[in-house]
Amino acid sequence: MNKPQVGGSARRSRMHQLLSTTPHHDTLPENYVRPESERPRLSEVVTDSNIPVINLSSSDKNLIISQIANACENYGFFQVVNHGITEEMLREVMGIGMEFFRLPPEEKAKLYSDDPAKKMRLSTSFNVKKEKVHNWRDYLRLHCYPLEDFVPDWPAKPELFKEIMSTYCTQARQLGFRLFGYISESLGLEEDYIEKVLGKQEQHMAVNYYPQCPEPELTYGLPAHTDPNALTILLQDQQVTGLQVLKEGKWIAVDPVPWALTINIGDQLQALSNGRYRSVWHRAVVNSNKERMSIASFLCPCNSALICPPKKLTERSPAIYRSYTYDEYYKKFWSRNLDQEHCLELFKTNSGEQN
Ligand SMILES: O=C(O)CCC(=O)C(=O)O
Ligand SMILES: [Fe+2]
């Protein structure tokens, strides 16, 4: 996008690919412009949505489970309220994320990388080396489990970053496990079924920063994609909307309920549920007058976890996807562009193909 600075170090010139470090743009640089047929068509987005909102403090566990079953089957997305993570914590984590992106360019340059294999990196777009058109997003990617292995390499600035992010990671993980319990039961499985199958689970985090964009109609923060992991817990900006999900051919805006967390089913739960629960297409659009931030916590199977549906779910309908390890899946996911066909399609069995 920008010319490398004359005389600057290689790292310094690479850093200039970061949107949060570049000067204001009046027009969208060409390598962010999508071809006409791929643009977001923002005027067609449906804002009045029925994306379920589930109260996790209800004393009626069966009600929670049935609401989760409905949400996972029909939407793949839902918001949870009274989820046990305090508003204060959520404010702190959003605050520290924003402070991070406001650090001076030299500080951010130390963390820049476009190598998807790196377990801690500040990057931009999605996979800059592979893609033709970039996305209007910077992101900090962190591996989070076990915390003590990764936190030492996390950003040293802002000062409270490690402390606040690691507390939030732990709480998000606990919430994720609680949801795995409800999801397992909603499929008629033992409460700990999913947790056991996924093994000693990895956890990743993406702190997404979408700067103001001069021409939001022409580009994306993140184009349509499904999440390759098992479950995503998304903390959305409270002031600025941007997340949209695809339902019956229409893009629906998921406007955040105050301090709710947005949950979505990832590809691995779609596979484990034999296609009953859906990892749906979603995207993030950008704004001309406001920056936006979101913090995604991804719960992933451990690399060696064998993903195949339980017997109970294949008694009446055959397995739609072949068995594979998460390692195999994840490599495939990163070898492609974000907005290609659903990565799970590549793992279909013959019976799956006929569906
Ligand atoms: O920013 C958002 O609302 C969506 C983020 C997302 O989908 C992701 O990080 O995978
Ligand atoms: Fe996503």
Q: What is the CATH number of the domain that holds 58?
A: 2.60.120.330
Provide the residues around ligand 2 (an ion) whose CB is within 5 A.
227
Question: Where in the sequence is the domain holding 261, given as residue range(s)?
Answer: 36-347
Residue 111 in contact with ligand 1 by CB distance below 6 A: no
Residue 296 in contact with ligand 1 by CB distance below 6 A: yes
Atom of ligand 1 nearest to the CA of 262: 3
Is residue 15 one of the residues assigned to a domain? no
Burial class of residue 311, CB neighbours in 10 A (0-12, 13-18, 19+) = exposed
- Residue ID of nearest Cα to ligand 1 atom 8: 296
pLDDT at 23: 73
pLDDT at 114: 86
Residue 294 in contact with ligand 1 by CB distance below 6 A: yes
Specify the amino acid at residue 116.
Answer: P
| pLDDT tens figures, 243-297 | 999 999 999 999 999 999 999 999 999 999 999 999 999 999 999 999 999 999 9
pLDDT at 6: 37
Residue 282 in contact with ligand 1 by CB distance below 6 A: yes
Is residue 29 one of the residues assigned to a domain? no
Rg (CA), the chain: 20
Q: What's the number of domains the chain is made of?
A: 1
Is residue 163 one of the residues assigned to a domain? yes
Mutate to test the pocket of ligand 1, among 246, 282, 338 (most ligand atoms within 8 A of CB): 282
Ligand at minimal distance from the CA of 226 is: 2
Of 81, 95, 138, nearest to 239 (Cα)?
95
Q: Which residues contact 61 (CB under 8 A, 6 or more apart)?
A: 182
Atom of ligand 1 nearest to the CA of 232: 10
Q: Give the predicted TM-score (pTM) of the model.
A: 0.93
CA of 318 to the centre of ligand 1 (A): 32
b/e map of 166-205 (b: 16 or more CB within 10 Å)? Answer: bebbebbbebbbebbbbbbbbbebeeebbbebbeebbbbb
b/e map of 251-278 (b: 16 or more CB within 10 Å)? Answer: bbbbebeebbbbbbbbbbbbbbbbbbbb
pLDDT at 129: 80
Which residues of the chain are under the pLDDT cut of 70?
1-16, 48, 338-339, 354-355
CA of 208 to the centre of ligand 2 (A): 10
Atom of ligand 1 nearest to the CA of 236: 3
CA of 283 to the centre of ligand 2 (A): 7
Ligand at minimal distance from the CA of 266 is: 2
Residue 287 in contact with ligand 1 by CB distance below 6 A: no
- Asked if residues 152 and 142 have their Cβ atoms less than 8 Å apart, the reply is no
Mutate to test the pocket of ligand 1, among 208, 236, 285 (most ligand atoms within 8 A of CB): 208
Ligand at minimal distance from the CA of 234 is: 1
Residue 242 in contact with ligand 1 by CB distance below 6 A: yes
Is residue 16 one of the residues assigned to a domain? no
Is residue 13 one of the residues assigned to a domain? no
